[in-house]
Amino acid sequence: MLAALLLAALAAAPIWIPDPPQARGTTLQGTAWAAEGKGWAARLTPLDDAERWAYLRDLGGAAADPFAPKPGTPPAFLTYLLTIDNLSAVPMGFQAANCRLITRNRRIGYPLDLPTLETTFHQLDREIPPAWATIRPALFDGETTIAPGGRASGLLVFRAPEPRTRSFTVEVLLSTASVEEAAFMAAYRRAKEGQTP
């Protein structure tokens, strides 16, 4: 009976698929959203648990995946690999904390970063687990400056939306060379039964 309940819980975990159409300048490439603007290009690719773990292990040398779901539970996090190309002749900036996951009912979530996690643990009079520290190289964490002609990439990890959520948008905000803010939106919706990304 318990095994059946666990399987039902896992089966209830939503599958999120891209939800076109998007704004001008944004295109769907497989399951990834790509966007381009004056002096920049970006790509947002969803990763499943196995892909996230491979990225953390291969790039950051992580000893464990702190975002991995507990056995028998649905995933608690949504992970995206964000790649940003600076196509301009001057540096540009990116602040992961300016990105948002916005549900249809206007609930807003922000990417998890290590300073926030460290503060949370310290408020509980606990030290951050070593596994969290080993993922730092793989995350977009704090302010990132991208050199002219350079590229930056890293993970944006959000808490999974509430189970009743039907759709959401990931908003990515960049600071361009002209000090203008450039944004692109990547929309996702819950897949119908039997539908795959």
- Report pTM: 0.84
Token match 């940003």: residue? 84
Per-residue confidence of the chain (197 residues) as pLDDT tens digits? 334 444 444 446 788 989 886 666 788 998 899 998 888 999 999 999 899 999 988 886 777 888 888 888 888 889 999 999 999 898 988 989 889 999 988 899 999 877 776 776 676 566 677 767 778 888 887 789 999 999 999 999 998 998 889 999 999 988 765 545 678 889 999 988 766 65
Domains of the chain: 16-190 (2.60.40.3880)
Token match 């930056």: residue? 152
Please name which of 67, 66, 75 lies closest in space to residue 12, comparing C-alpha atoms.
75
Please name which of 93, 97, 94, 95 lies closest in space to residue 109, comparing C-alpha atoms.
97
Q: How far apart are CA 169 and CA 190, in angstroms?
A: 12
Whether residue 156 contacts residue 80, with contact meaning beta carbons closer than 8 Å, is answered with yes
